[in-house]
Amino acid sequence: MNSKVKKWSGLSLLTTMMIVVIAQMGFAQTTIVFQTSLMGSKEEARNELIKDFEKAHPNIKIEHRGYHDIYKNHEKLLTSMVGGNPPDLVSNHDHFVPTYAYYNGLEPLDMYFELAGLDSKEIFYQVLLDACTYNGKLYGAPLFSTADALLYNRDIFKEEGLDPAKPPKNWDDLLDYAQRLTIRKDGKLIRAGVELPYGKEETRNRVFLTLLWSNGGKLFNEDLSRATFNTEEGIEALQFYVDLFNKYKVCEIGWGAEVKHGQEPFLIGKSAMEYAGAFELVFINNYAPELNFKPAVFPGRKKQTGPVVSFPIFMPKGTKHKAVAWKFIKFAISKEANTKFAKLCARLPSTKEAGTDSYFKENLPVFIKALEMGTLPPPTPGWKEITDLIQNAMDEALYGIQTSEQALDEAARKANEVLAQY
Amino acid sequence: MLLSRKKQRKMLPFREQQRKIAYFFILPALISLCIFFYLPVVATFYLSFTRYNILQPPKWIGIKGYTRLLGNPVFWKSLQNTAIYSLGYIPGKMALALLLALILNQKIKGVVVFRTLFYTPEITSIVAASLVWMWLYNVDSGIINFALIKLRLPPQKWLYSIKLALPSITAMCIWKDLGGSMIIFLAGLQRIPDQIYEAARIDGANKWNLFWGMTLPLLKPTSLFVLVWSLILSSQVFTAIYIMTSGGPANSTTTIVHQIYVNAFQYLKMGVGASMAVILFFLIFTLSLLNLKFFKGAEYY
Amino acid sequence: MTREEDKTKRTNKNIFVLSVKLSLWLLLLFFGVLVAWPFFWTVTTGIKLNSMMYVYPPQLIPYPATFDHYLYVFRKAPFALYFCNTGIYAGSRLILNLFLCSLAGYAFARMEFQGKNVLFIFAVATMMIPYQVRYIPLYVIMKRWPLAGGNDILGRGGMGFLDSFPGLILPEMAAGFGIFLMRQFFLTLPRELEDAARIDGCSEFGIYWRIALPLSKAALAVLGLFTFQGAWNDFVWPLIVTNSQKMYILQLGLQRFQDLQYYEWGPVMAATSTAVIPLLLVFLFGQKFFIRGIALGGVKG
């Protein structure tokens, strides 16, 4: 064969090979495993997010594994990390992030944000960002969040001669209004002035945090080596909570317990006010749409603030498709996706951009405000243990086993032991 | 030479062959138990002397783990709660199950229907069962308080009362598990042939004598099984507590396995969980051994 | 007394006895329904109309009934697959347990060999290990199983038995519970049968297979029921060892519908009912081994 033919056949062979390789890259599909607790009320939002992402990125497929119990999600992640085959992305409650990060189980995301030219401080609400930061590194990207507020029934306010446009602004008001709104017949509670969480409800710990922080108290000292919730502010906060139950009797243990589906006391007018998270609005929409109520920032003594909970997406260490997984995170925090997600599950968005959407301004202005003014428990791997200690202290004070001071002192002492480990 | 029957048996020639074959009989089961139960036990025993957070390799701390555990009041409370629970659960369940088995061993019309009715709690999912019972125990709208009020008795806070939370859970667990024990007692009663009862009746025994003198003793192997099994079950109670009270209020319902779970998987202190499991294992082992020795010689005919 | 008065007296006595029996029967029925009520509630809620779901006082018998919840549930999740998987898992565990545990139980009850008592206690002690401390070591064992799922001879490199049927079934293929139960029942078998068979030249295995087993139908039914039910309702181990949707068993598929915060009772109860009804059927089927007369021991040969 002469050299010309050789040259052309060689070139065409090379070109064909290149075309095949490039075509493969185009059609090569990567599957990302995404493990979450986004079930039930969040299922639709999650499905849409995944669908939208897959439409925008046809080469990437998301395999979702859902576990509604956040602890089952957590156990599954633990075992898969032990086995060396963790999912590519996980979404769970933010209090897990410091724990995983502390034990070196997560991939820091700072580098990805930098390379993409995104400033995380600009994108997210500061408070949510803090929850995902540990030791100066960012380990999670918040997907959505929720905050707590005081919901009050305007009709009942009117009935009792209170101005429905003026919810209580501080503790004294709260107590005063609650006493006026409580009805008891022969000692039996007919209508609770204010319904506060107790028992094993998720919002139970948060109400103590709200009271503590709004009284100017702090959970821990600056370097997280000592618990400071048993200072005077903390004791006052716990005592106020206990008094509302036991001394002023404007609420009761057992009131509205385990009742669901439209029979909750606030929904049927048996509680005039209640401490609730943003997800309560979903229930009201579904079961009591005609309820004339309004959310208000929970009254604080020295300042207005409350706890904020976020649900970040984070990346376990040791996975294979990090760059592709990052694409999903980037998509989820874009304005459109973030707004859509929060709307579909009636929660709050995690990005400031999404928070400017008129939907939130109209329907959840109080919660957005709470998000902006909110405080987050400082990230420590021992958070679950300390939360349980605080819960126990609340129980002991509530049931009169110990005084508020004794209960908090004991909890603080044990919390210091926990903090010492980290 | 006057040899006891047992000794005579031991001298028979086929004993050698039987011994070898016996090992083959138990081999498959035993190998399975070794790999899937004892290997984890060895691992757990090792982990009990370490600090292990699951995400990183375990760190040896020796006996410190145990000493710290023994100084933890919540650990002792959980042991106490488990003991109180067991003292209510074991006799309650065994008595009810035995009673039902005796009744449903007769030729009553629709006995199969009755047996099924009393067995349904076993197959009801624990989640659905907990839902229903939490509703029953509801302070305002639960049926139990409703009935109490009608009877002019004070309504209680059940799952939200420090004194009553554990008994409330005990009642639910008895309800859930009695079907299983009832079935085992029934199977045991089946082994007792009618002829024995006939013979005794002819001899002039009345119903009471029949029960105490014949039925109960003949049920010994079965009862022993139900006793040891109930003891093991009650020492490991977990799911009901996890769903209904999460150990509260004020740690009045946390049990030892609940503490194992919380420490190992929620606080990521697997070493602590392992130590608790080891202590629990030895406690139950000792108690069961005592039971087995006490009921020794359960062979008849 | 005249004959007439005698007769009336007897009739009165009969009526009295009859009415006592009837009231006791009704009492039993009352308690039976009470005990089975959560089960009824599960099933009836699954066919209740949404509009009647939360009314107070609650609707006892759903009329009109709707199968919308079932349709919704079947459309949302591949129940046929879940049923298949659960059937394979439960069925395999059932057969393996029946065989291995009865073999071992027979040996422990009726054969003499060295270390019999120690090994028996060894087997029973496995019941005392709470599953919470077993499953992480078990996970590692399954993953590192040599020559499985891409592993080399030292168990490295692949996924072992994770996410597969052997991974699900193996850890529970023999349980201390079964060995204990079968041994207690075999203890009640009459020795004469055994001796007679041996004289006839029957092998040990033959005695087990042809004499002991057929006489223990009730015990086998009990063991089978418990094993099948345990496997059918098992949640934790399948959660840990499986990953892909195609290996899901019923309980894992069900938890999709169980968001405890936002409960849609209709679909949840419909889904739960589909998982529970097979257990009920298995129980009813097992009942025929409990009819008096079948499980009697007779020295007929």
Structure-token pair, residue A398: 């509530």
Could you report the per-residue pLDDT of A107-133, keeping only the tens digit for each? 999 999 999 888 888 888 888 888 888
Q: Name the neighbours of A, counting chains with at least 3 Cβ pairs within 8 A.
A: B, C
The verdict on A164 touching C (C-beta cutoff 8 Å) is no
CA distance C150 to chain A (A): 14
Q: Check CB contact under 8 Å for C100 and B29.
A: yes
Residues of chain A in contact with residue C262, where contact means CB-CB under 8 angstroms, are 40-41, 279, 282-283
* pTM for the model: 0.87
Q: What is the pLDDT of residues C149-199, one digit of tens each?
A: 788 888 787 788 888 899 999 998 988 999 998 998 888 888 888 888 878
Q: How far off is chain C from A121, nearest CA to CA, in Å?
A: 32
Quick check: A78 and B162 CB within 8 A? no
Nearby residues of B43 by Cβ (< 8 Å), 6 or more positions away? C137
Confidence of residue B14 (pLDDT cuts 50, 70, 90): low
Mean pLDDT in chain B? 85
The set of residues, in sequence order, having a beta carbon less than 8 Å from that of C13 and lying 6+ positions away, is none
**What pLDDT is attached to residue C293?**
41
Mean of the per-residue pLDDT values for chain C?
83
The Cα of C196 is separated from the nearest Cα of chain B by a number of Å equal to 14
Handedness of CA C283, C288, C293, C298 (dihedral sign): negative
Residue pLDDT, tens place only, A251-265: 888 887 766 666 788
**Confidence grade of residue C260 (pLDDT, cut at 50, 70, 90):** very low
Give CA–CA dist B284/B141, Å, rounded.
40
Of B138, B251, B262, the CB nearest to A392: B251
Q: Are B140 and B227 in contact (CB under 8 A)?
A: no
Q: Is C139 on the interface with A (CB under 8 A)?
A: yes
End-to-end distance of chain C based on CA atoms, in angstroms? 55
**How many percent of chain C have pLDDT more than 90?**
16
Contact call for C124 and B298, based on CB within 8 A: no
Determine the Cα–Cα distance for residues B180 and B94; give it in Å rounded to an integer: 10
pLDDT at B202 over 80: no
Rounded to the nearest angstrom, the minimum Cα separation between A103 and chain B is: 6
Judged by CB atoms closer than 8 Å, whether chains meet at B249 and A104 is answered as no
- Please report residues of C whose CB lies closer than 8 A to that of B257: 130, 132
Read off the pLDDT of residues B254-287 as tens digits, 9 standing for 90 and up: 999 999 999 998 898 999 999 999 999 999 989 8
Give the distance from residue B154's alpha carbon to the nearest chain C alpha carbon, in angstroms: 22
Q: What is the pLDDT of residue C295?
A: 37
A40 vs C140, C240, C262: nearest CB: C262
Q: What is the mean pLDDT of residues B72-96?
A: 95
Provide the shortest C-alpha distance from residue C73 to chain B (in Å): 17
Q: Which residue has the higher pLDDT, B211 or B53?
A: B53
Average pLDDT over residues C62-82: 84
> Which pLDDT tens digit goes with each residue over A384-408?
899 899 999 999 999 989 899 999 9
pLDDT greater than 80 at residue B82: yes
Q: What is the pLDDT of residue C263?
A: 59
- Residue C187 is predicted with a pLDDT of 86
Instruction: Give A49-102 as a DSSP string.
Output: HHHHHHHH-TTEEEEEEE-SSHHHHHHHHHHHHHTT---SEEE--GGGHHHHHH
In the predicted structure, residue C264 carries a pLDDT above the cut 60: yes
Task: Look at C49 and A64; give whichever has higher pLDDT.
Answer: A64
Tell how many helices (H) and how many strands (E) occur in chain C.
14, 0
**Which residues of chain B have a CB within 8 Å of the CB of A255?**
139-140
Task: State residue C103's pLDDT score.
Answer: 92
Kindly determine whether residue A75 and residue C240, on different chains, have CB atoms separated by under 8 Å.
yes
- Token digits for B198? 């006939």
Give me the pLDDT at residue B130, please: 82
- Mean pLDDT of all residues in B147-157: 86
* Exposed/middle/buried for residue C37 (C-beta within 10 Å: 0-12, 13-18, 19+): middle
pLDDT band at A40; cut points 50, 70, 90: confident
Q: Is C69 on the interface with A (CB under 8 A)?
A: no
Contacting partners of chain C (3+ CB pairs under 8 A) = A, B
Residue among A67, A72, A82 minimizing CB distance to C136 = A82
Query: For the residues of A24-60, what is the DSSP string, one character each?
Result: HHHH--EEEEEEE---GGGHHHHHHHHHHHHHH-TTE
Say yes or no to pLDDT of A63 above 70.
yes
Q: In the predicted model, is pLDDT for residue A53 greater than 90?
A: yes
Answer whether residue C34 shows pLDDT above 70. yes
Closest-CA residue of chain C to A261: C54
Residue B182 has pLDDT above 50, yes or no: yes
Which residue from A389, A100, A407 is spatially nearest to A242, judged by alpha carbons? A407
Closest residue in A to B135 (Cα) is A258
Q: Which of A314-318, B137-141, C288-292 has the lowest mean pLDDT?
A: C288-292
> What's residue B300's pLDDT?
36
Complex ipTM value: 0.84
Q: How confident is the model at residue B93 (pLDDT cuts 50, 70, 90)?
A: very high
- Closest partner residue to A40 among C140, C159, C261, by Cβ? C261
Give the chain A residue nearest C144 (alpha carbons): A83
| Nearest CA distance, B235 vs chain A (angstrom) | 23
Of A199-208, B87-96, C13-22, give the lowest mean pLDDT range.
A199-208
pLDDT given at position B233: 92
Q: What is the pLDDT of residue C261?
A: 43
Could you report the per-residue pLDDT of A187-222, keeping only the tens digit for each? 788 888 888 988 877 778 888 988 998 888 888 888
Closest partner residue to C239 (CB to CB) among A76, A82, A282 is A76
Q: Is B157 on the interface with A (CB under 8 A)?
A: yes
Residues of B in contact with A401 (CB under 8 A): 162, 250
- The whole-number average pLDDT for the span A27-32 is 79
> What is the rounded average pLDDT of the residues B52-80?
90
Tokens linked to B264: 């190992």
Contact C162 A83 (CB under 8 A): yes
What mean pLDDT is predicted for residues A80-97? 89
Put simply, whether A40 touches C (Cβ < 8 Å) is yes
Q: Which among C135, C139, C255 is the nearest to A68, CB-wise?
A: C255
Distance from CA of C9 to the nearest CA of B (A): 24
pLDDT digits (tens, 9 = 90+) for B23-48: 888 899 999 999 999 999 999 999 99
pLDDT band per the 50, 70, 90 thresholds, residue B87: very high
Report how far apart, in Å, the C-alpha atoms of A100 and of each of A317, A382, B224 are.
Answer: 10, 11, 47
